[in-house]
Amino acid sequence: MLRFTLAAAAATLAFSTLAEAKITITCLTNAGHLTRQHEPLMAEFNAMQDEIVVEYAAPAKNYGDTHLKMFRGSATNTLPDCAFQAYNQLPSLARALAERGQIVDMTPLMEAEGEGWTEANYSDAMLDLGRVDGAQYGMPFNASVIQWYYNADLFRQAGLDPDNFPTDWDGLFDAAQKIDALGDDILPMFMWLINGDDWGFQTLILQQGGRMMSPDGQTVAFDENDHALEAMKMAKRLHDEGGLRTDLDRETQFAAFTEGRMGLWGLSPAGARNMQERVGAQFDLRSHPFTVWNDAEGKLPTGGNAAMITTQDPEKIAAAWEYIKFVTGPRGQQATAEITGYLPTNRKVLGTDYMGDFYAANPYYATPVKQYDRAGPWSGYPGTQSEKIWREQASTIRAVMEGELTPEEGAAQLKDIAVDLMKR
């Protein structure tokens, strides 16, 4: 495991060592994030100083492909100098790299910044998204908790007040049914649940005050206190009362919403800018915090990714840290939030010098900030079968929604799938 004393961290951070010659570092991210986020940040960082040059490797297709590329790089000693990986896949990757001394615990680097620096920039809950076994292997870069987008025009047509969004699930289903009654070509709602990854399923668990895994990340815990059963009951209600379709892919749903033919969509704030651009002036587009069951203890899984340092060269570690400080710092997070809509991971961004005035003038983009305290962990499973676990669980959830399995049967099956495949 690669660790540094405070003295060593301070030494590697000294720019006098970097200024002797330009240090080039190579980072890895996925294709969906490279052009829209990382290339502008890289260009700004490279232009603002002349000691470090940041480059990006050929991007991965997605988070799953990033995972595979990093494991291959570990085996062949061809890892990039830094990488950005999803929170739910970070633990298994970090543990594997730590065994080979191929990942840096950034705790000493943060401490070397001086007293109060960490607290001024990051909340402990946000930093915890990148901690694995007590080590800060990831610095939070992108963060998103699910939120509602809604068509205020369809609300009005259905006799609903768009300024008074439903406060609970019963009210939400009532609104969906009224929107559904507007016509056969109108879809009431969509929520990220069985499409893509397990972010939506984890949302149904955490918003009850539940957790996916035990604290050590080795034992399934989503079935505690009947949380899995209640989640399956909610999945059934989403289908039966909310009109959530199981036969339409995400692209079809996106088209329906942005064309003004859907009332509500539960999705990441990461797509806020893209959605606004697609909608244009077609209808009154708004956003709202997501509905939770347990207001006191309910959380929402935090999607997004953390920056890791995987080089073992001290000078490159120092250079990578400077870049990570920039992209997770107030200016980097301001740029990222404005480009995408992601929840800023840096506390200073909320000040008027950065995003405070922007959020006040653009409430559509301010919803993620209202859910800052709801941010909970997006958990992963131990072993190498996380994607297979989710594929099988998604089929189970679909069967519950369509009435082929009871919620009780579905809940039991979800646990059996995870327990069985985690062993491999």
Tell me the pLDDT tens digit for each residue of 367-378.
998 988 888 888
Pair of tokens at residue 68: 């595979």
Nearest to 390 by CA among 60, 63, 30: 63
pLDDT for residue 5 is more than 50: no
Q: Are residues 391 and 408 in the same domain?
A: yes
Asked if residue 273 and residue 341 are part of one domain, the reply reads no
- The mean-pLDDT minimum among 221-230, 264-273, 327-336 falls in 264-273
In the predicted structure, residue 3 carries a pLDDT above the cut 50: no
Provide the pLDDT confidence category of residue 41 given band limits of 50, 70 and 90: very high
Of 4 and 86, the one with more pLDDT: 86
Both structure tokens of 1: 């495991």
Same domain for 23 and 116? yes
In a domain, 376, yes or no: no
Mean pLDDT to the nearest integer, 381-392: 86
Same domain, 242 and 173: yes
Q: Is residue 83 scored above 60 in pLDDT?
A: yes
Mean pLDDT of the chain: 91
The predicted model scores a pTM of: 0.84
pLDDT of residue 6: 40
Q: For the chain, how many structural domains are there in total?
A: 2
Instruction: Answer yes or no: is pLDDT of 8 > 50.
Output: no
Residues 287 and 174 in one domain: yes
Give tens-digit pLDDT for 324-354: 999 999 999 999 998 988 989 999 987 778 8
CB atoms within 10 A of CB 183: 9
Instruction: Tell me the CA distances in angstroms from 346 to 221, 267, 274, one per residue in order.
Output: 30, 22, 23
What pLDDT band is residue 43 in, cutting at 50, 70 and 90? very high
Note whether residue 280 is domain-resident. yes
355 CB-near residues (< 8 Å, 6+ apart): 334, 337, 338, 344, 349
Phi–psi pair at 135, nearest 5 degrees: -105, 145
- Residue 48 pLDDT grade (very low, low, confident, very high; cuts 50, 70, 90): very high
The confidence score (pLDDT) of residue 217 equals 83
Q: Which domain holds residue 99?
A: 6-143+302-371
Claim to verify: residue 137 and residue 75 sit in the same structural domain: yes
d(CA 41, CA 265): 30
**What pLDDT is recorded for position 21?**
65
Instruction: Please give the C-alpha separations between residue 114 and each of 103, 278, 283, 393, in angstroms, as whole numbers.
Output: 23, 44, 49, 46
**Residue 297: is its pLDDT beyond 90?**
yes
Lowest-pLDDT choice from 192-201, 265-274, 282-291: 192-201
For strands 147-151 and 285-289, give the pairing.
Answer: antiparallel
Same domain, 239 and 164: yes
On whether both 123 and 133 belong to a single domain, the answer is yes
Q: Are residues 293 and 418 in the same domain?
A: yes
Q: What is the mean pLDDT of residues 74-94?
A: 94
Task: Quote the distance between the C-alpha of residue 229 and its chain's center.
Answer: 25
In a domain, 346, yes or no: yes
Nearest to 59 by CA among 87, 43, 39: 39
Neighbour order of strands in the sheet with 262-267: 187-191, 262-267, 147-151, 285-289
Question: Residue 117 falls within a domain, yes or no?
Answer: yes
Q: What is the mean predicted confidence (pLDDT) over 19-25?
A: 79
* Non-local CB neighbours of 273 within 8 Å, separated by 6+ positions: 338, 339, 340, 341
Same domain? 330 vs 274: no
Cα angle, residue 217 at apex, residues 213 and 220 outer, rounded to 5°:
35
Does the pLDDT value for residue 163 go beyond 70?
yes
CATH of the domain at 10: 3.40.190.10
pLDDT at 255 > cutoff 60: yes
> What values do phi and psi take at 86, rounded to 5?
-60, 145
- Would 399 be classed as within a structural domain? yes
Q: DSSP for 380-413, please give it.
A: --SSS-HHHHHHHHHHHHHHHHTTSS-HHHHHHH
297 in the same domain as 309: no
Residue 255 lies in a domain: yes
Question: Using CA of residue 188, residue 193, residue 196, residue 202, what is the dihedral sign?
Answer: positive
pLDDT at 383: 76
β 147-151/262-267 pair status: antiparallel
Q: How many Å from the N-terminal Cα to the C-terminal Cα in the chain?
A: 24
Query: Distances in Å between the alpha carbon of 414 and those of 48, 55, 200, 398, 408?
Result: 50, 42, 14, 12, 10
Residue 73 has pLDDT above 60, yes or no: yes
Of all residues in the chain, the percent with pLDDT exceeding 90 is 75
The string of pLDDT tens digits covering residues 86-142 is: 998 898 899 999 999 999 999 999 999 999 999 999 999 899 999 999 999 999 999
Per the structure block, which two tokens stand in for 341? 């809509």
* Same domain membership, residue 60 and residue 20: yes
Dihedral sign computed on CA atoms, order 183, 186, 189, 195? positive
Q: Which of 224, 395, 361 is nearest to 297 (CA)?
A: 224
What confidence tier does 20 reach under pLDDT thresholds 50, 70, 90? Answer: low
233/400 Cα distance (integer angstroms): 8
* Residue 152 neighbours by CB under 8 Å, 6+ apart: 162, 283, 284, 285, 286
Both tokens of 240, joined, read 């039966």
Spatial distance between the Cα atoms of 178 and 28, rounded to a whole number of angstroms: 46
Is the pLDDT reported for residue 18 higher than 60? no
Answer yes or no: is 1 within a domain: no
- Quick check: 141 and 306 in contact, CB under 8 A? yes
